[in-house]
Structure 1
Amino acid sequence: MMATVNMVDSRHMTKLSTEPSQGSASVRPRLNIGFILAPRFTLSAFATFVDVLRLAADDGDGSRQIRCNWSVLSPDMAPVQSSCGVRIEPEERLGDPARFDYIVTVGGLIDGGPGLSAEQSAFLQKAAAAKVGLAGLCTGVFAMARLGLMDGYRCCVSWFHHQDFLSEFDRMRPISDQIFVVDRDRLSCSGGVSAAHLAAFLVDRHLGRAAARKSLSILMIDEPMEGDRPQPGLPLELSPRDPLVRRALLTMQQNLQAPLSIARIARDLGVGRRKLERHFNSDLGIPPADASVRIRLAQARMLLEHTDRTVTRIADETGFCDASHLIRVFRESEGTTPDLWRQNQSETGSAPI
């Protein structure tokens, strides 16, 4: 059975609770946000973002929409089902986007169905024309990019969806080594807890740092993070502490099949190659080129252990020149060839899938 969250009822209750009380009726919202929920949207990103607003909007934990106001918008008022099955009932029809400071599009499963409706798409286009701030949570930036709303803007995409984004938008270069990106009147975040930090950024901008810290503290999040904080990425054998090193490693992970030169990685990160090498040597005790090889070898071992792909195909997928190159580097690292290593793993209990 699908659960349904009736936000209309909760909003009416909120309005009732904000009747004149200790002067609250005289306080006008300083931050107004409208939400567009894509089919099969990610509930956690939406709920986390809203909770930061909720906790900043009122004193204590009263949940009254005093300093902040938010509404789920819809062309037809039909409930929207999230990827986990919970349905959210909209509160208002689309109307004029200029009544909001920001319109936030919450994405979900990339192949989750028809995507935004024609009415929702037109509403976002109208909002852009009216210079209303547009934000994409999780894969919400995909919906915005499909409408051309991210053309000429930097955008944040989760490392998990980095290749999906490149496959669909080959002329854009997404940022997948930061938790969120703010580029003029476009905002985007990688999803998960980064939605809380993007919401806290807006609360800080419109209500002040104290309100942002209060919200995150109640949610048991230590402190607001800047947008350039590195995303948690794929599991690594390496354990970097330096944010610059971590971002470089994430870039390497995202380009396994066609490794970038160290000079290119440094340039993309806005530093010189020598500076990047110094940070690697200080943090990990190895140069970035060695770290790149270790990352690609780790991926090769995973593919050898859990798939039946040939060594030639694995070499191609992990950025080695050919099978001979992979075999040579693998033998130097493991003391055996990839085929013998796979055979040993199989004999000890692991089997390809």
Structure 2
Amino acid sequence: MHRVGYLLQDGFQIMAVATQAVFEYANMVAGETFYQVENYSLAGNEVRSSLGLRVETRVPTARTQVDTWIVTGVGDPLSFPASDEEQAFLKKAAARARRVAAICTGGFVLAEAGLLEGRRATTHWYFAREMQKRFPDIQVEDDRIYIVDGPIWTSAGMTAGLDLALAIVEKDLGSDAMRSVAHKLVMYQRRSGGQSQHSEILDLSPKSDRIQNALNYARKNLSKELTVDELAESVNLSPRQFSRVFTEETGQSPAKAIEGLRLEAARLMIEQSRHPLEVIARETGFRDRRHMREVFMRGFGVPPQAIRRDVREAK
């Protein structure tokens, strides 16, 4: 049996506790109680979430055996720093546990305890710069869903905790079990750790159905050239009218937006497939591998090979 201990503090985010469903369904898939999940706090008794929900917790003792500690985040980690007691506890707990994970701003608790020193880590994008400023010895990567650095796991904000929990299941029970859990949880896809916290479609946020439909058409046909004329025709607008409305609603030209979609799609294929880079470039509409590399350098500051290498090292 693998014991998972959630360390809660007042003001914790409910979304972090929702990740416990991943371990519940992993037990169903395994056909046994592989994971035993418990909620802990140093004070014990009831702990109140940021929304007011109260959760009963236990006080960990020197005899408490936990294989994986998961530290939950709070809404504002700058206003609720980890106490000296929490920091001391985590230092001892990390030495005994198989791994220690943090969801969302729970990464600040690990940082305050010194567990992220000299390591790669991520957190909610909104607080990433502040983490880097306060803890310069941490390599903060603000555009990652989750990061595994040895026995220390950190995730981005909110729903990224589900991806981290699924990755733990994959590590413990294998890819087939992980996919079965994700399917039972009705998750559209399980995101890899190297995937961006940001979505190009969400960033564009078009106001009208026509521009949204044009973007959907583009995403389904990235291997094609996708001229303005073709996009305009797909939503029954003239090219001139389409370009004007598109720019007004998204703040970008159609060409710039399509490049962003190609970049996002190519990155996802690199992370989740073993296709050669030449194939990925062709499938996502780049002229060739060299052109894709140029766009990656401009958009991410690293070549495609570096992203593929990071994903392989994280597994």
Segment of structure 1 superposing worse, 223-232 or 107-116 = 107-116
SS at match of 1:164: helix
Deviations 1:299-351 (A, max 9, x none): xxxxxxxxxxxxxxxxxxxxxxxxxxxxxxxxxxxxxxxxxxxxxxxxxxxxx
Deviation at 1:114, TM superposition (A): 4.1
Q: Tell me what 2:312 maps to.
A: none
Q: So what's the TM-score if we normalise by structure 2?
A: 0.63
SS at match of 2:140: coil
- Aligned to 1:235, which of 187, 203, 207? 203
Segment of structure 1 superposing worse, 105-114 or 134-143 = 105-114
Q: How many Å separate the matches in 2 of 1:155 and 1:200? A: 18
Q: Percent identity?
A: 25
Q: How many Å separate the matches in 2 of 1:50 and 1:148? A: 26
Deviation at 1:80, TM superposition (A): 1.5
**Structure label with greater radius of gyration:** 1
Asked whether the 8 Å contact 2:69–2:97 carries over to 1, the reply is no
Asked whether the 8 Å contact 2:66–2:97 carries over to 1, the reply is no
Letter aligned with residue 37 of structure 1: L
- Aligned to 1:278, which of 267, 291, 311? 291
Letter aligned with residue 242 of structure 1: L
1:115 aligns with 2:85: no
- Aligned to 1:142, which of 86, 108, 118? 108
RMSD value, Cα: 3.1
Q: So what's the TM-score if we normalise by structure 1?
A: 0.57
Asked whether the 8 Å contact 1:102–1:134 carries over to 2, the reply is yes
SS at match of 2:261: coil
Asked whether the 8 Å contact 2:77–2:105 carries over to 1, the reply is no
Q: How many Å separate the matches in 1 of 2:56 and 2:182? A: 26
State how 1:12-23 maps to structure 2 within 5 Å.
none
Q: Tell me what 1:312 maps to.
A: none
Q: Tell me what 1:54 maps to.
A: 24
Q: How many Å separate the matches in 1 of 2:118 and 2:14? A: 29
Deviation at 1:103, TM superposition (A): 0.7
| 1:246–1:160 CA distance, 2 compared to 1 (3 A) | farther
State how 1:19-38 maps to structure 2 within 5 Å.
29=1, 31-38=2-9
1:45 aligns with 2:9: no
Asked whether the 8 Å contact 1:39–1:115 carries over to 2, the reply is no
Q: Tell me what 2:123 maps to.
A: 157
- Aligned to 1:218, which of 171, 184, 191? 184
| 1:112–1:178 CA distance, 2 compared to 1 (3 A) | closer
Asked whether the 8 Å contact 2:131–2:140 carries over to 1, the reply is yes
Number of matched residues?
227
SS at match of 1:240: helix
| 1:130–1:212 CA distance, 2 compared to 1 (3 A) | same
Q: Tell me what 2:56 maps to.
A: 89
Q: Tell me what 2:163 maps to.
A: 197
SS at match of 1:128: helix
- Aligned to 2:175, which of 200, 209, 216? 209
Asked whether the 8 Å contact 2:5–2:40 carries over to 1, the reply is yes
Gaps of 5+ in 1: 1-28, 248-274, 293-353
Deviation at 1:223, TM superposition (A): 3.4
Q: How many Å separate the matches in 2 of 1:190 and 1:58? A: 27
Asked whether the 8 Å contact 1:41–1:108 carries over to 2, the reply is yes
Deviations 1:37-57 (A, max 9, x none): 13311111221x101111111
Deviation at 1:204, TM superposition (A): 1.2
| 1:241–1:85 CA distance, 2 compared to 1 (3 A) | farther
Q: How many Å separate the matches in 1 of 2:124 and 2:42? A: 29
SS at match of 2:182: helix
Asked whether the 8 Å contact 1:39–1:116 carries over to 2, the reply is no
1:175 aligns with 2:116: no
Deviation at 1:164, TM superposition (A): 2.0
